[in-house]
Structure 1
Amino acid sequence: MSMRLTRRSLVGATALVAAPALLAPRPARAQGWPNGPIRLVVPFAPGGSTDLSARLVADGLAQRLGVPVVVENRAGAGATTGSQMVADAPPDGQTLVMSNIASHAISPTLYGNLRYDPVRSFTHIAMVITNPSVWVVHPRSEIANLADLVRLAKTRQGGLDMASSGAGSSNHLLMVRFCEQAGIPFTHVPFRGAGPAMTAVIANQVPMMSDSLPSAAGHIRQGSVRAIAMSSAQRHPGFPGVPTFIEQGFDLSSTSWFALSGPAGMDPGVVQRLNREVKAVVATPDSQRRFAEMGGAPGDMTPEEFTAFVAAEVARWAPVVRASGATVG
C-alpha cells in the first residue's frame, strides 16, 4: 500500500486553539454543579468500545449526580470531530468527551490541520478502561490465523481489505505495523465507528477487522465472528483460546484506552468531584463484571496522572505514525 509520510507539527495546532484569557468563559464552580443535564460526547458511532464504555459511565454518573447524563455520538475524522466540539465548549462541567487513544494520542499527528492540542485544549479528568485489540473474521472465513491471513494477502492484488473504526485509530495503525512486518499490502477500509465495521464483517462484506476487545467480545462469544489474534502481551484470561500476535511470530502488542475529559479551564473542584465519581462508578461490582465481560480493565488515575499519561501517549505514538507513513487523505 502506498503511503505518504506525515510531517506536520503539533505546535501549529496548539497555536490555532490558543485564545486570549479575557475571552475564555468562566468555569462553573464546584458548589452548585451540576446545574442541569450533562452532555457526554462520544466521537465515534454507536456500538463501539468508546460508546459502550461511555454509556456504562453515563448511567453510573447519572445515578450518583442526580442529573441526566446524555450520550451524544459525533463521529468523524478519526474521532476529532466530536473532540473539537468539546474543546470549543464552555468549561462549565456540563459538556464532556469520551477521550481515547485515537482522538488524543494518534490523530494529533495523523491530522496536520487539527485545531486542538490534545493536552492543553482539554481538562483531563479520569481514566475509565484499558483493553487490547482483537482481529476478527467471518466464522466461515478460510482465515484461521495470521499465517493464513498473510498467505491469502499475497495472492490478491492490493492485498486484503481490512476494516477498522476509522482512519487514525489504534486499530488502523496496528494493521499498518502488522503488514509492514509481514511484508504484505493491504487496503484500509475505515468506517465511522466499530459498530458499522463489525456489521460489515458479520455480513461477510469485508474479510476482517481490527477492533477493540470490548466492542468485539459479545460477537466473539455469540459466534458471529471468529477471533484470530489478540494484541495483548499474554493471552487474555477471558479469551484463552485466542493466541497473541507475539505467539504467532509478530513482535506486536497494543493497548487502547478510553477516558473522561472536558474543555480546558474547568474548575478544579468540579474535576476532583468527577474523578471521584468515575472511580466510584467503575469500582462497583456491576461495572467490574461488565468490564470483565467486555475484556477490559478499569482505570485508576488522578487528573494529574491522566494528564501526564496523555502527554506521554502523544509522544509515544507520534514517531509510530510518522515512521509508518500513514496519513489521512
Structure 2
Amino acid sequence: MSVALGRRALLATSVVAPIAGRRAFAQAWPSQSIRLVVPFAPGGTTDLVARLVAAGLQERLGATVIVDNRPGAGATLGSEFVARSAPDGYTMVMSNIASHAISPAVYGRRVRYNPVTDFTHVALVVSNPTVWVANPNSGIRTLADAVAKARSPSGLDVATSGAGSSNHMMVVRMSQLIGKELNHIPFRGAGPAMQAVVAGQVAMMSDSLPSAAAHINQGSVVAVGMASAERHPSFPNVPTFREQGFDIASDSWFGLSFPAGVPAEIVDRLSRETRAYLADPAVRARFAELGGTPGDLTPEGYTEFVSREVAVWAPLVQASGASAD
C-alpha cells in the first residue's frame, strides 16, 4: 500500500470510528436512569404532567425516569441546568410556556440560555387553558366580584406559580383591562400558591387547569372564570372570561426537551415513544379529566412551535412592562 493510500485509509477510519461509536451509543439508549427536570416546585401542573409522562415513558423505555424538581426564577433555573447538561440523552426538561417563551423576556439578561437553540426540542406533551380560582370564604364568585375587590381600598391579591409564568401574564393583562393593578403574589410553583389560596392566605389564584382541577372538584376553591375560547367540556359550569366581559384567552403548554446536540437516534426514539404514549385512549382520557389536550408534534414541529411562541410572547411582555425586578 502506498503512503498516500495508507493516509487516506487512516483518515477514513478516524472519521468512521466516532460516527460508528455514536450510533452504537444511541442504539443502546437508554442504559441508565433518565432525569426529567421540572423547573417548578412539586404540586403544580408542570409537575403533575411530568409525573404522568415519566411513569408512561418508564414503562415504554424500560428505564427509570426520575422527576427532579428545580424551581426558581420563573422556571429558568432548572431549564438552564438542562441546557448546560451533557447531551447524552439522560437529562431533559419539562419545557413550558414560562421557561421557554415568557420568562426569557421577563428576566432578560439573567437568563443564560436561548430557548430555541440551546435545546433539542422533542415533543409537545399537553396544552390547557388558564383558570382563575378563589378561596370559598373570599366572597368572590365571579370576575365582577374580583374586579370590585380589586378596586376596594384593600385591593386584590392574586397568586401565581411565579414571575414569568403565563398566569403572571394573565394578571398583567387583567390589570390592564380593568385599569387597576392587581397585587401579583408570585410563588415558587403552583403547588405552594394553591396551598396559600386554600388556606385563605391569598384570596385568588391564576392557575393552569390541570393543577387546579382536583381542588375545584373537591370544593376547596371556587372556579371563577376559564380563559378558554369556550366552556371546557370537563367543567361546563365554569363561565369563560369572555362570557363575563373580559376578552382574554390563554393556554399553557408543556413538552420534553433535551440539551442541544443529543444524537438524532435518541431524539427520534423518545419522540416516537412519547407520541405513542399520548395516543393511548386511557392517557387521553386522563388528560381530558385534568382539562388538558395531548400534543402530537414531531421534534421539528415542536421546535417550530417553541420558536413561534417566543416570537409571540417577547413583544407582549415588553409592551406590558412586566419584569422580575
TM-score (norm 1): 0.90
Letter in 2 for 1:131: N
Q: Deviations for 1:141-177, whole angstroms, at most 9, x for unmatched residues?
A: 21111111111111125x2111000000000001100
Establish whether residue 119 from structure 1 lines up as the match of residue 116 from structure 2.
yes
Output the CA distance in 2 between the equivalents of 1:123 and 1:34: 17
Establish whether residue 298 from structure 1 lines up as the match of residue 291 from structure 2.
no
Q: CA deviation at 1:30?
A: 2.4
Map 1:65-76; keep pairs closer than 5 Å: 65-76=61-72
SS in structure 2 of the partner of residue 205 of structure 1: coil
2:16 aligned residue: none
Contact 1:86 1:97 in 2 (8 A): yes
Output the CA distance in 1 between the equivalents of 2:132 and 2:268: 37
Output the CA distance in 2 between the equivalents of 1:178 and 1:94: 40
Establish whether residue 205 from structure 1 lines up as the match of residue 201 from structure 2.
yes
Percent identity between matched residues is 62
Q: Deviations for 1:276-323, whole angstroms, at most 9, x for unmatched residues?
A: 100111122331121011110000001001001101000100111011
Output the CA distance in 2 between the equivalents of 1:37 and 1:122: 20
1:88 aligned residue: 84
SS in structure 1 of the partner of residue 92 of structure 2: strand
Output the CA distance in 1 between the equivalents of 2:78 and 2:283: 25
Establish whether residue 220 from structure 1 lines up as the match of residue 206 from structure 2.
no
Q: Among 166, 183, 193, which residue is 1:170 paired with?
A: 166
What is the count of residue pairs matched by the alignment? 303
Establish whether residue 309 from structure 1 lines up as the match of residue 293 from structure 2.
no
Q: Among 290, 314, 319, which residue is 1:323 paired with?
A: 319
Q: CA deviation at 1:224?
A: 0.5
Q: Among 148, 158, 182, which residue is 2:145 paired with?
A: 148
Largest Rg, 1 or 2: 2
C-alpha RMSD of the superposition: 1.2
Contact 1:27 1:265 in 2 (8 A): no
Unaligned runs of 5+ in 2: 1-20
Output the CA distance in 1 between the equivalents of 2:286 and 2:192: 22
Output the CA distance in 2 between the equivalents of 1:139 and 1:181: 25
Q: CA deviation at 1:111?
A: 1.1
SS in structure 1 of the partner of residue 137 of structure 2: coil
1:6 aligned residue: none
Letter in 2 for 1:106: I
Q: CA deviation at 1:191?
A: 0.5
Q: CA deviation at 1:35?
A: 1.7
TM superposition outliers: structure 1 runs of 4+ over 6 Å = none
Contact 1:235 1:243 in 2 (8 A): yes
